Amino acid sequence: MLELVNVTKTFNISGNKEDERTALDNVTLQIEPGEFVTIIGGNGSGKSTTLNIVAGSLTPDSGKVLLNGRDVTKIPEYKRAAYFGRVFQDPMKGTAGDMSVLENLEVAYLRGWTHSAIRWGFKEKDKKIFIEELKRFGLGLEDRLNQKVGVMSGGQRQALTLLMATIRNRPTFKMMKRDYVLFSGLDENVARKEFEDEYNLRKGEYDKKVSDIKNDSSLSKIDKKEKINVAYQEFDSAIRNKFDLTKQILLLDEHTAALDPKTAKKVLELTDKIVHENQMTTLMVTHNMKDALTYGNRLIMFHLGHIILDVKGEEKKKLTVDDLLKMFEEADKKAEN
Ligand SMILES: Nc1ncnc2c1ncn2[C@@H]1O[C@H](COP(=O)(O)OP(=O)(O)O)[C@@H](O)[C@H]1O
Ligand SMILES: [Mg+2]
């Protein structure tokens, strides 16, 4: 579960009191695992600030951010990054233009991967995964694996960024352990011990298999290598399936706003598909009220740093764009008085 508790954030660019802007005013919010929350609100109402505080790009002046009950407010952005996938409005921001589609995906997927001995075997397998994923986009990206991302359209780049933000990359065991200790919600020592016990058990099994394979004189050198690879992959997935907390939460900040309507729709549909298939907890900021109503199972409206609407399920389904517009107007009127 992701929680903001009494979060306040004020900006003051000039140092003069009259320039002070309260971006978030004592905001409390609880998001259950698997919820797909759409977030709307006028310009400057605090939407991006909320996402930045969740991801750790900004520190609140007061209040807390909790992940699975653990206070992560002081954990820096780069350490929290593993837990989040992010897509911003600017298509240039999420991908490296001078690298190919495949290279961009490899970077996202293999970050931290060190087992160089089997790296090549994985690469071919990864490529197949990427092609399958890209095919589902319906943007023809699977035929352009070696094309530099810089020459592609904004829509194609955003689709690629979305895949990079959601495809589960491969942290090293060390990174996985660090993240598990930080974010599992368990007491640190309990989490560390749980990881180490499981790791040692599986590593013991793997080492035994390797020694048996090596001692088996009926096997050729190539067969041995192949069998050791399989044993390693079993060991690797056993640990990953249990402890990898990578990319649990997806943060989207107007990620289709810079795209033409047709491409925006495609990227949104893709988003919906990816979110559901991976059951990702998702916060999607959009300025499009219709999209906010169509997608997700919960809708939150911000106004001047406050949450003025928070609806779920059936209640959300009943809402119309007119309802939302009326609420905006009423909130504006109230603020003027
Ligand atoms: N880095 C910043 N420096 C100064 N003011 C900021 C900064 N980020 C946001 N703000 C101010 O905080 C308020 C909320 O901004 P933001 O969360 O970006 O709004 P939204 O995403 O809803 O449009 C605005 O008044 C904005 O000007
Ligand atoms: Mg914003």
DSSP of 52-93, one letter per residue?
Answer: HHHHTSS--SEEEEEETTEE-TTS-HHHHGGGEEEE-S-TTT
Which positions ≥6 away from 235 have C-beta within 8 Å? 202, 203, 205, 206
**Among 22-31, 102-111, 184-193, 206-215, which is the least confidently predicted range?**
102-111
Q: What's the pLDDT band for 111 if we cut at 50, 70, 90?
A: low
- Asked if residues 88 and 165 have their Cβ atoms less than 8 Å apart, the reply is no
Listed residue (1, 10, 112, 121) closest to 66, CA to CA: 1
Listed residue (322, 323, 299) closest to 309, CA to CA: 299
Q: Average of pLDDT values for 3-18?
A: 90
Sort strands 2-11 and 249-253 into parallel, antiparallel or unpaired. unpaired
What percent of the chain has pLDDT above 70? 96
- Residue 332 pLDDT > 70, yes or no? yes
- Asked if residues 105 and 167 have their Cβ atoms less than 8 Å apart, the reply is yes
Ligand 1 pocket at CB < 6 A: 11, 13, 21, 23, 41, 43-49
Point out which residues pair with 148 in neighbouring strands: 100
**Ligand number with the minimum distance to the CA of 49:** 1
Q: Average of pLDDT values for 262-266?
A: 90
What percent of the chain has pLDDT above 90? 65
User: Would residue 28 be called left, alpha or beta, if left means φ above 0 and alpha means ψ between -120 and 50 degrees?
Assistant: beta
What does the H/E/C string look like for 171-234? CCHHHHHHHHHHHCCCCHHHHHHHHHHHHHHHHHHHHHHHHHHHHCCCCCHHHHHHHHHHHHHH
pLDDT higher at 123 or 12:
12
Residue nearest to atom 6 of ligand 1 (CA): 11
**Among 58-62, 169-173, 210-214, 304-308, which is the least confidently predicted range?**
169-173
Sort strands 298-303 and 62-67 into parallel, antiparallel or unpaired. unpaired
Residue nearest to atom 24 of ligand 1 (CA): 44
**For position 122, what pLDDT does the model report?**
55
- Residue 18 pLDDT > 60, yes or no? yes
Count other C-beta atoms under 10 Å from residue 56's C-beta: 20
- Asked if residues 314 and 300 have their Cβ atoms less than 8 Å apart, the reply is no
pLDDT of 141-160, one tens digit each? 899 999 999 999 888 899 89
Listed residue (267, 286, 281) closest to 36, CA to CA: 281
Ligand 1 centroid, distance to 34 Cα (angstroms): 27
**For position 124, what pLDDT does the model report?**
75
**For position 118, what pLDDT does the model report?**
45
Residues within 5 Å of ion ligand 2, judged at the Cβ atom? 47-48
pLDDT of 224-238, one tens digit each? 999 999 999 899 989
- Residue 116 pLDDT > 50, yes or no? no
**For position 117, what pLDDT does the model report?**
38
Buried b (16+ CB within 10 A) or exposed e, 286-311: bebbebbbebbbbbbbbbbbbbbbeb
Buried b (16+ CB within 10 A) or exposed e, 94-109: bbeeeebbbbbbbebb
- Residue 168 pLDDT > 80, yes or no? no
pLDDT higher at 285 or 105:
285
- Asked if residues 88 and 94 have their Cβ atoms less than 8 Å apart, the reply is yes
**How much is the mean pLDDT over the chain?**
90
Residue nearest to atom 11 of ligand 1 (CA): 23
